[in-house]
Structure 1
Amino acid sequence: MEAGRRGPTAGNRCDRLDRRNRAGGVPAGCLPARDRGGRDHRAESRLAGRNRAVRASEVPRQRLGSQRTAAPTRLTRGSLTDRAVEPRAGRLRPLRGEDLPDVVALRQQVFRFSERDSPDRLAHYLEQIFFRHPWADEELTSLVYEDERGRVAGFLGIIPRPLRFQGEPVRAAVATQLMVAPERRGLIGRRLMRTFLTGPQDLSLSDTANEVGRRLWESLGGSVSTIHSLAWSRTLRPCRHLAARIARGPVLRAGLYAARPVLAAADALAARLPRSFTQDVPPGAIEALDAGTMAARLPQLAGSALRPEYEDGSLTWLLAQAAEKRQFGELLGALVRDAAGEVAGWFLYYCHTGGGLGEVLQLAARRSTQALVLRHLWRDAWRRGLTAIAGRVEPAFVDELAAHGSRFGREGPWMLIHSPRVELLQAITGGDAFLSRLEGEWWLSF
């Protein structure tokens, strides 16, 4: 893969990849020196140079038969013309609407967990995410691998996302849900990912990768943003939080439930200690957060060279889809104003009604107001009964998170990045990018 090369369009790149495997796994756009129809491309090239053109029909048919199955010795550019005589081979192509039931069935083979309680609901969700999103781009479509029998045996979801770098538009794409049928595992997943990474986008992202996905990504020329692969957590009720982390299994969980009054009393006592876990009411106020305010205020609050391009309509759709993610509870958000009534920033996080751990989706604030936004977040989460709150590290907030007693660690998925533009990669790894969980795939709820 050439990292600096811009990829073909979706139609062309898939047409080129359709021809792969017809000559024993030959790369797209190439074929053997002697194809299966008997045409000797090397001979024609040599003879044409000597003005001695030879027609393929003049080659004895017996000789053609003896060489038809010979292993290719050299690859040349060309086009395949043997569709009618050779059995159908597997191919990569763009996802179509009629593929969704097959993708659902494939996902049920590959992944054990789904937030959707029926295949029909999952198919509807796939349609919303991959066909109804507001960033339609004909060159950035999801991909499927269709085997020789016409069945979907591989899939890679792709979601375009517009960004801005130093005020200029950036074409980004998020990869998600890479899956291959168990009996076809091998190079199919690699082909799907390579096709994605050599696409027309300026920046490729994936932020829920496991160790296997990370190794595949790096083997294809991608890299990891280590800082965005770290997580932070802030304890609000230490006794109950520690007990919840220790409790494993039904018996221990039952004991934890019975001990809740005692743990609550211990947390109340801990809140009275100096430099404790108490959550005083911070100055300013919070109010309802809406997409229009986020779109209008982000350029002033982010202060980063690379940031998402928000607009009211697309952000409304994005927040509605993020709200469907119920794995971590209800999605809550608030706009924070300082004591003078000026916008200080906002927070978005998931909150379980019964307490537990909250997960932050996005934080936004100017550097001078970060502490105020965090204090309002701690207070709101504590008021709703959470024992702790956590999130992915955003470089701009590291100092304030540390100052407020947050703990940092490498406990979650990897943040993967790839771009032919070095300045984009440097902005991300150097902490000059506003890329929250809302900009990747973390908010999806398959």
Structure 2
Amino acid sequence: MSKIRFLTNADMPDVIRLFQKIFQKSSKQPSPALKAYLQHLYIGLAGETAPASKVLLNEQGAICGFIGVHYFDYLHGTQLLKAAMVGSLMVDNHEQDPLGGAKLMRSLLDDNYDLILTETASETTAAMWKKLNAVQFTNYSLDWLRIISPLKFAVETAGSKLGLLKLFLPVAGFIDQRKRNAMPHNSLRWSGTPQNWTAGQTLQCQQIDMAEFTALYHQFSADFASRPQWQEQQFTARLQDALQKPDYGQPFMVKAATKTGKTVGLFLYHLRNGGTARVLELLSHPKAASQTIDALIHHAAQNGAVAIRGRTQPLMMEAMLGKRIAFTHLASTMVWAKDPAMLANFETGRAQLNGIAGEHWSCLSGHPL
């Protein structure tokens, strides 16, 4: 009979090999970078507390499954909740134990959590969570895309599979630039944005350092009725990892302010020159959401982005309407709550989730481990 227990440091070699086999689909030895990062992610970040992740053992006592979990406090009104963010879920030899993944997920219900969260649930995993009475929240489960330079974006997208197409980038860039220069300054089109987009310059953008980003992040987060209550070292560790995504390019931490100097928006994105900007974090004052989104798009465009994409934040979605932004569903955000009343702020979008409060801050995305 299979057995589930908490992860220990001694388990990490087996967990790393399992990760290499299932997620990287390789029988080769894991790279030193992958070994070091998974050790850091699942053991090192636990600090003085015990790891929250779990392993599944087969009848012979060998590790055949794993579920990656990070614990943090979550403030719900004045009530402090114990929350778990669930990431990697993997089971080897699924045929021998087809319920292995479900067993790992169900075991979390015995760990005295008030909330269990995930933002990367596949259709299969989402169905498993629903059987455990977790709720799928559509407004947190969408990815958005705004095209800036359509021909270069098309070449970039197709070129990832057909490398020779990248030879057409200079020509595509020349055509895009001419078109953008000819567009009216306030034009809104699905096919791109103007070179000198007036609406995107309503706010003044300035790149900032980690200390200022951290202070502003906490300031904007206070507007959410439910939100993570980070320990200082928890947030710092997440932000440090979030900046290390070389596959996505250079990180940009930016504040957006009015002409009087009041900061009303904050965003963090990565951009590789001539590529798609990937937004990890987007926050704003409630009355400045539209201007902040415009400022983000314009800032990325001025730095050479061909498009910009990110994960939805419900309170920003209404402001996105009419901006020629497309939405798609790639993975689901699921929330399990011990008390259904705790879900109220998620239902209205007034709970902070995704971004640094989600899963994509880690180097498991955007880093060649």
Q: TM-score range by the shorter chain?
A: 0.7 to 0.9
SS of corresponding position for 1:416: strand
Kept in 1, the 8 Å contact 2:205–2:299? The answer is no
Alpha-carbon deviation of 1:424? 2.2
Match of 2:259 among 339, 358, 363: 339
Identity %: 24
Change (3 A) 1:147 1:289: same
Instruction: Name the stretch that deviates more: 96-105 or 147-156.
Output: 147-156
Give the equivalent residue in structure 1 for 2:367. Answer: none
Deviations 1:71-120 (A, max 9, x none): xxxxxxxxxxxxxxxxxxx3211111111111111122212369x99433
Kept in 1, the 8 Å contact 2:155–2:169? The answer is no
SS of corresponding position for 1:437: coil
- If asked which structure has higher relative contact order (CA below 8 Å, sep 6+), I would say 2
Alpha-carbon deviation of 1:292? 5.6
Kept in 1, the 8 Å contact 2:155–2:165? The answer is no
Match of 1:268 among 147, 172, 180: 180
Instruction: Name the stretch that deviates more: 102-111 or 282-291.
Output: 282-291
Alpha-carbon deviation of 1:403? 3.6
Q: Structure 1: which 5+ runs fail to align? A: 1-20, 22-89
Paired with 2:70 and 2:80, the residues of 1 have a C-alpha distance of: 16
Paired with 1:201 and 1:301, the residues of 2 have a C-alpha distance of: 22
Give the equivalent residue in structure 1 for 2:228. Answer: 308
Alpha-carbon deviation of 1:270? 4.9
Kept in 1, the 8 Å contact 2:279–2:309? The answer is yes
Match of 1:418 among 336, 346, 350: 336
SS of corresponding position for 2:321: helix
Alpha-carbon deviation of 1:295? 4.2
Give the equivalent residue in structure 2 for 1:46. Answer: none
Paired with 1:404 and 1:174, the residues of 2 have a C-alpha distance of: 32
Give the equivalent residue in structure 2 for 1:388. Answer: 307
Paired with 1:206 and 1:393, the residues of 2 have a C-alpha distance of: 14
Deviations 1:265-308 (A, max 9, x none): 44434544651412343343423042465346634555221112
Alpha-carbon deviation of 1:173? 0.4
Change (3 A) 1:317 1:261: closer
**Equivalence map 1:195-210=2 (5 Å):** 195-210=107-122
**Equivalence map 1:33-182=2 (5 Å):** 90-112=2-24, 118-133=30-45, 137-138=49-50, 141-182=52-93
Paired with 1:299 and 1:163, the residues of 2 have a C-alpha distance of: 16
Paired with 1:213 and 1:325, the residues of 2 have a C-alpha distance of: 26
Change (3 A) 1:367 1:161: same
Deviations 1:152-197 (A, max 9, x none): 1111111012221113322110111111112644122211110013
Alpha-carbon deviation of 1:223? 2.0
Give the equivalent residue in structure 2 for 1:282. Answer: 202
Paired with 1:251 and 1:300, the residues of 2 have a C-alpha distance of: 42
SS of corresponding position for 1:433: coil
Equivalent position amino acid for 1:232 in 2: W
Paired with 1:324 and 1:113, the residues of 2 have a C-alpha distance of: 23
Paired with 1:437 and 1:301, the residues of 2 have a C-alpha distance of: 12
Equivalent position amino acid for 2:111 in 1: G
Deviations 1:203-238 (A, max 9, x none): 101111111111111122222111111121112223
SS of corresponding position for 1:373: helix
Kept in 1, the 8 Å contact 2:227–2:352? The answer is yes
Change (3 A) 1:369 1:301: farther
Kept in 2, the 8 Å contact 1:333–1:347? The answer is yes
Paired with 1:408 and 1:122, the residues of 2 have a C-alpha distance of: 32
Give the equivalent residue in structure 1 for 2:281. Answer: 362
Paired with 1:325 and 1:118, the residues of 2 have a C-alpha distance of: 19
Root-mean-square deviation over aligned CA pairs: 2.6
Compute the TM-score of the two structures, normalised by the length of structure 2: 0.86
Paired with 1:126 and 1:301, the residues of 2 have a C-alpha distance of: 28
Kept in 2, the 8 Å contact 1:338–1:344? The answer is yes
Alpha-carbon deviation of 1:399? 1.7
Q: Structure 2: which 5+ runs fail to align? A: 365-369
Kept in 1, the 8 Å contact 2:203–2:292? The answer is no
SS of corresponding position for 2:260: coil
Deviations 1:15-52 (A, max 9, x none): xxxxxx3xxxxxxxxxxxxxxxxxxxxxxxxxxxxxxx
Match of 1:427 among 330, 345, 349: 345
Paired with 1:197 and 1:433, the residues of 2 have a C-alpha distance of: 21
Change (3 A) 1:327 1:204: farther
Deviations 1:390-432 (A, max 9, x none): 111111111211143322232x111111011222222112211
Paired with 1:117 and 1:284, the residues of 2 have a C-alpha distance of: 48
Paired with 1:402 and 1:292, the residues of 2 have a C-alpha distance of: 30
Give the equivalent residue in structure 2 for 1:319. Answer: 239
Equivalent position amino acid for 1:360 in 2: V
Give the equivalent residue in structure 2 for 1:230. Answer: 142
Paired with 1:135 and 1:218, the residues of 2 have a C-alpha distance of: 32
Equivalent position amino acid for 1:384 in 2: N
Kept in 2, the 8 Å contact 1:349–1:361? The answer is yes
Give the equivalent residue in structure 2 for 1:188. Answer: 100
Match of 1:349 among 252, 266, 269: 269
Compute the TM-score of the two structures, normalised by the length of structure 1: 0.72
Q: Which structure has the larger Rg?
A: 1
Kept in 2, the 8 Å contact 1:345–1:365? The answer is yes
Alpha-carbon deviation of 1:144? 0.7
User: Are 2:308 and 1:397 equivalent residues in the alignment?
Assistant: no
